[in-house]
Amino acid sequence: MTEELKELESRMSDGKTFNVEDAKKFSRLSSFTTVYQEYLGEKSNYEGLVSMANDPEDVDLQAEAKLELEESIPKMDKLASGVTSKLLPPHEFSDRGCILELRPGAGGQEAMIFTQDLLTMYYKYAQVHRWKCEILSQNESTSGGLVDGSLLIDHPGAYDRLRHEAGVHRVQRVPQTEVKGRVHTSTAAVVVLPKIEEGADEGERKFAGDELRIDVMRASGSGGQHVNTTESAVRITHIPTGIVVINQDERSQHKNKAKALMVLRARLAEKERLEKVQKERAERRDQVSSTDRSDKIRTYNFSQNRVTDHRCGLSLHDLSGCMNGESLDQVIDAVEAKETELQSLRLIEDLEHVNK
Amino acid sequence: MPRIDSKTISQATKFSRFLPWLLRASRGSIVEAKKELRWIKSELPRSKWERACQARHRLVPLQYILGSQPFAHDLTIKCRPNVLIPRNDTEDWCVELEQILCDIRKPLKALDVCSGSGCISLSLVSSRAKFSHVYGIDVSRDALELANENLRINSHQLQRSNPKCIMKYVRGDILNEKLSEILGTGAKSWDIIVSNPPYITVDELASSSLEKSVKLYEPMLALEGDLEFYDELVKLTIEAQARAFVFELGNIRQAKRVAELLHLKDSSWIFGIRRDSGGIRNVIGWKRDSEFTSLDKLCHEQLQ
Ligand SMILES: C[S@@+](CC[C@H](N)C(=O)[O-])C[C@H]1O[C@@H](n2cnc3c(N)ncnc32)[C@H](O)[C@@H]1O
């Protein structure tokens, strides 16, 4: 890989035959080598320390080296996993913002309240990071909680971080309305979509004239000067796929339309990505489908002040910190590390396969 | 007005003590009422919520209660009694029109006749289309004053897209004055005329096709009209030597009248009509071989 980089470098200095593909490759490779060099540096530092620590001549030096080793080892671990994650192909939408769509699952009223809690958690999480964040829609139930809700986190890379949140979240707690103090279990589902820009970037998606059906939803007949209604809901149907997006939260019909289009683009992009992933899995007859989409990914246990992520096995005993967005990162870090581990195992398997 | 059943009212009360007040204007729809309540709460101080909801129960337009209506990309149009509230249906064609006009390179001169709050002219100038002069004409002093306020509060958006455009709102009575009497020497050589004149006929005013809130609270001067306005708009288009126009309207007679009159004067005009969910909404015209032929993208049907 270092050689490939060298070749690219020399081609670049020639100032010829350097195209967009090369530029992308170059930036990937060079960011890999930076991490790799750092790793090698730390490794030789580590080796030096080890030999010092074993030096029978100098006892003082021995003690000092041992102290430094304690710092060096975790550093090296971190760099090593950095190297593996750089080796793995980046996720398709890793540089994008995201849209989170939340819906209550089993558990009636409690599930709706939990859906609201999750929406708040992600909103606060975005605030903690100072990421631009906007509630796209929240459909309140008359008796509290949300029938559905969605949130736009308009920050590059938010998708890559939050894609691990997709799946079924489970809550165990005593509802406020529960007189007997019994613990209820209910769920909410989270969908994570990439934000696709409307502008001229490469992920852009243009719609043909007959691909969309746009309806404004209005009760009365003749429109125009005859009505001054506040109804501003817009429904967009994507005819080829049958996907329907409704937006009605803004007073401006024009904004509702723009938001609905953004959500439609996001759903289409995610749908296409999932189809691609499935196809790739089928091609390699991948049986280790790591997590089924219908599986619960995480449990929030209120009476034990505990959040457990079932994918990586982490239990965090700071539920309130998680729910106000501050320690959610600890959970995501653990899930991310697990993903990298699984992926590198797979990479090694693949390599061995090729070598045979 | 359908009666609202007691079950809906008690359901609304459970959600918020303000919500039942909003059911009448939203024809008993809890979903619509909840949206209005959210807007009221987010745009008005707490001390005004109660009176706002009660006013809404009397069918006062929400836009007058909140004092504004968002329009097109990111304009805020101030609203107050005596001036017509900008309509979503108007916003729709304005946005479509802008998208067509932005392909024309040369900065345009546009007249907004019967300009009211100024929403049409302001949205054009705040768009990606290029303009050098945009004037509005209205007979109502209240409308002119409001349009000028709207010009001020949206100046940032206007500056951003058309920093050199000259805009102003001028008083004029198009039923009784020629364009040269209203604009003086500046009456000639406009490129495009846009207008949303009063088009609700006397018959319709008496019927139930008009929403109660419109009839009770919006100015008759802005609503009641028919062919006489379109006759004048045709004369004005000729006098201004314009090569294109987009007029909003309420029925096919009005569209046909425009096409007939203009065709008599000059057979190089081409006409089309545009519909929306409420039915026929615009008559559109352009001179053959002019830079405005792409206006046919606005049309659903040719006329004649
Ligand atoms: C339907 S409103 C349109 C306002 C604004 N352009 C809009 O789309 O919201 C019609 C406007 O025409 C004005 N108007 C009525 N009679 C007029 C006349 N004879 N001459 C000029 N303007 C007139 C009214 O004051 C009112 O502002």
Last residue of a domain, one of A31, A56, A87: A87
What range does the domain containing B45 cover? Answer: 6-58
Q: Of B139, B141, B199, which is best to mutate to test ligand 1, by the most ligand atoms within 8 angstroms of its C-beta?
A: B139
For residues B121 and B228, state if they share a domain.
yes
For residues B158 and B260, state if they share a domain.
yes
For residues B205 and B263, state if they share a domain.
yes
Q: Is B197 in the pocket of ligand 1 (CB under 6 A)?
A: yes
- Is residue B137 in some structural domain? yes
Last residue of a domain, one of A62, A87, A112: A87
For residues A123 and A159, state if they share a domain.
yes
pLDDT in tens, B257-277: 999 999 999 999 999 999 988
For residues A143 and A239, state if they share a domain.
yes
CATH of residue B142: 3.40.50.150
Query: CA of A252, closest CA in chain B: separation in Å?
Result: 5
Q: Cβ of A249 under 8 Å from any chain B Cβ?
A: yes
Mean pLDDT score of chain B, rounded to an integer? 94
For position B4, what pLDDT does the model report? 82
Domain count, chain B: 2
Domain count, chain A: 2
For position A291, what pLDDT does the model report? 45
Q: Would you call A251 and B70 a contact, using CB atoms and an 8 Å cutoff?
A: yes
For residues A107 and A209, state if they share a domain.
yes
For residues B297 and B149, state if they share a domain.
yes
CATH of residue A253: 3.30.70.1660
Query: CA of A188, closest CA in chain B: separation in Å?
Result: 22
What range does the domain containing A200 cover? Answer: 98-348
- Is residue A92 in some structural domain? no
For residues B118 and B40, state if they share a domain.
no
For residues B139 and B224, state if they share a domain.
yes
For position A151, what pLDDT does the model report? 95
For residues A48 and A151, state if they share a domain.
no
A-B Cβ pairs (cutoff 8 Å, strict): 99
For position B165, what pLDDT does the model report? 95
For residues A39 and A154, state if they share a domain.
no
For position A288, what pLDDT does the model report? 47
Q: Give chain B's largest Cα–Cα span.
A: 65
Which segments of A216-309 does DSSP mark as H helices, in order? 253-283
Q: Which chain A residues touch B211 with a CB distance below 8 Å? A: 220, 226-229
Q: Which residues contact B238 (CB under 8 A, 6 or more apart)?
A: B262, B265, B266
For residues A106 and A14, state if they share a domain.
no
Q: Is B95 in the pocket of ligand 1 (CB under 6 A)?
A: no
For residue B62, name the pLDDT band (cuts at 50, 70, 90). very high
Whole-angstrom distance, CA of residue B118 vs CA of residue B150? 7
Q: What is the mean pLDDT of residues B203-226?
A: 92
Query: CA of B197, closest CA in chain A: separation in Å?
Result: 10
- Is residue A108 in some structural domain? yes
For residue B58, name the pLDDT band (cuts at 50, 70, 90). very high
Contact between residue A158 and residue A94 where contact means Cβ atoms under 8 Å apart = no
Quote the tokens at residue B259. 């096409």
Q: Is B118 in the pocket of ligand 1 (CB under 6 A)?
A: no
pLDDT in tens, B68-122: 999 998 899 999 999 999 999 999 999 999 999 999 999 999 999 999 999 999 9
Contact between residue A205 and residue A269 where contact means Cβ atoms under 8 Å apart = yes
Q: Would you call B70 and A228 a contact, using CB atoms and an 8 Å cutoff?
A: no
Q: Which residues of chain A have pLDDT under 50?
A: 200-201, 287-292
For residues A75 and A108, state if they share a domain.
no
For residues B47 and B129, state if they share a domain.
no
Q: Is B84 in the pocket of ligand 1 (CB under 6 A)?
A: yes
Quote the tokens at residue B159. 């500056």
For position B122, what pLDDT does the model report? 97
For position A352, what pLDDT does the model report? 67
- Is residue B1 in some structural domain? no
Q: Cβ of A250 under 8 Å from any chain B Cβ?
A: yes
Segment holding A146, helix H or strand E: strand A146-153
Q: What is the dihedral of CA B287, B288, B291, B294, to 10 degrees?
A: 100
- Is residue A356 in some structural domain? no
Q: Which residue has the higher pLDDT, B301 or A178?
A: B301
For residues A157 and A17, state if they share a domain.
no
- Is residue A40 in some structural domain? yes
